Structure 1
């Protein structure tokens, strides 16, 4: 019985790193979605656990381990807010990494109470898109607008 309890606890702990759990530690999730039916995912967080005014990007591979993590000061993040025109609201935040790589996380959807959000990641190298990942239908949760406001505030008054 003791071994069963220990095994159950280890499975529970291992599952905590699964997609959808990256920001759960502090409730600062600003965007999340899954890929390939759920075993892979991405989350953006207001990284309040870090010193300074930081945001974090976490991409999870199928075994639940973090494949790519980027923690950046908000003042250096690029973003594209909704332009205020039309009924389709689209926003993005871009995290830069070594080697000229950047990860643009975006969400978009119609302005309707029952509208489902779309989202994804554009992977870029030297400002050219080299890969595009589309989020699973129905998996996008986004508050990129709030993150963009935080980034804008950080850039205005560093």
Structure 2
């Protein structure tokens, strides 16, 4: 799998996280945000460069060093689309990290003009929440609903 790390950091300045530090720079990013005051980032991609229908999860440092990478068949990803009810819309996808760990990437926003998008990662161990890592305010870019459609089409 091809990744582009350092050139992006050099273009935008050291320590500045940008979309595309984990995913291919070809529009495959389905979710991105920075975490922990910009020291970390997460991206979820439609891994069109891999064989078969796969999605990828990448958790990385601001210098582009990948701390956690998961490539998973879409047919095995747990997807939770917005149910269409209420004023809060949310989507999530959960990647199997092995060893009982799972990483749920979520997005949400109120159904109102100008509402702020939120997101984050829930880290689970044997189904129990062990960490909730919120995205930094204003950094969420999400198209998880399109990824969920692709996941559902493979299941």
In structure 2, relative to structure 1, the CA distance for the partners of 1:141 and 1:14 (3 Å cut) is: closer
Task: Establish whether residue 111 from structure 1 lines up as the match of residue 105 from structure 2.
Answer: no
Aligned residues: 145
Q: Quick check: which has more Rg, 1 or 2? A: 1
Deviation at 1:14, TM superposition (A): 6.7
Task: Please report the TM-score for the alignment, with normalisation by the length of structure 1.
Answer: 0.85
Which runs of 5 or more structure 1 residues have no equivalent in the other structure?
A: 1-10
Any residues of structure 2 matched to 1:58-73 within 5 Å, and which?
58-73=58-73
Distance in 2, matches of 1:88 and 1:111, equals: 6
Deviation at 1:61, TM superposition (A): 2.1
Deviation track 1:38-75 (CA, whole Å, cap 9, x = no partner) reads: 12110000000000001000001243201101000000
Distance in 2, matches of 1:45 and 1:119, equals: 16
Q: Point out the structure with the larger helix share.
A: 1
Match of 1:13 in 2: 7
Q: CA RMSD in A?
A: 1.9
SS in 2 for 1:69: strand
Which runs of 5 or more structure 2 residues have no equivalent in the other structure?
A: 11-16
Match of 1:151 in 2: 151
Q: Is the 8 A contact 2:6 2:63 kept in 1?
A: no
Deviation track 1:55-110 (CA, whole Å, cap 9, x = no partner) reads: 00000124320110100000000011111101210110000012110000000001
SS in 1 for 2:112: coil
Q: Is the 8 A contact 1:42 1:58 kept in 2?
A: yes
Task: Please report the TM-score for the alignment, with normalisation by the length of structure 2.
Answer: 0.87
